[in-house]
Amino acid sequence: MKLGVLALQGAVSEHLDVLNDLGVEGLAVRYAEELEDLDGLILPGGESTTLEKLMRRFGLDVALRQALERGMACWGTCAGMILLSQEIANAINGQTGLGHLPVKVVRNCFGRQVDSCETPLEIKGLQGEAFPAVFIRAPGVSDILDPQIEVLAHHQDMIVAVRYGRVLATSFHPELTGDHRLHKFFIEQVVGCKLVER
């Protein structure tokens, strides 16, 4: 199995560390060619506007759209969710995202950096106790644009986790808490690879 983490900006090493903890070798992806034989890619949290500019500069936007159309599994966390979304309610000038996930997303919808919080979240498909979800200038989904979108979690009055076939998107930062259940869910349920128990 070959998994990548888009490594242009944001919480890259944290995701790579979780993959390593799970016995999976993760690749820090910077170039379009590196997408070619990936089984799955994580788009990390960071700043979606900066990420989009860097993706364009490196030609990764076009390559990523093609990889998504080919059916590469992908998980966008926080800014990564914004990048994947079809509509961005409060996009800055020129920000379009990749347009792959049929939802409308609202950036920074739970407030500013100082409003960051960790909250227990019930997530459909995860066993056991509530997931410790860290929200940092997090987006939320306000509208579902395709009936095939599966809603996995809500926070306040927004949708904060969705699945769309081989695409997963979460508003919060699952790489910051030491709880690896969502990474396991992505690998086993979305990518479709069995993890070896360690």
Residues forming the active site: 78, 173, 175
Tokens of 130: 């509530």
Say how many residues touch ligand GLN, by CB under 6 A. 11
User: In a 10 Å sphere around its CB, with 0-12 CB exposed, 13-18 middle and 19+ buried, how is residue 94 labelled?
Assistant: exposed
Give me the least distance between CB of 149 and ligand GLN, in Å please: 20
Asked if residue 48 binds ligand GLN (CB under 6 A), the reply is yes
Residue 182 found at the interface with ligand GLN (CB under 6 A) = no
Whichever of 99 and 193 has its CB closer to ligand GLN, that residue is 99
Q: Compare residues 82 and 191 and give the one whose CB is closer to ligand GLN.
A: 82
- Residue 98 binds ligand GLN (CB under 6 A): no
- Would you count residue 100 as binding ligand GLN (CB under 6 A)? no
CA distance 141 to 94: 20
CA distance 145 to 48: 21
Q: Is residue 78 a contact point for ligand GLN (CB under 6 A)? A: yes
Chain contacts with ligand GLN (rule: CB under 6 A) = 45-48, 78-79, 82, 107-108, 136-137
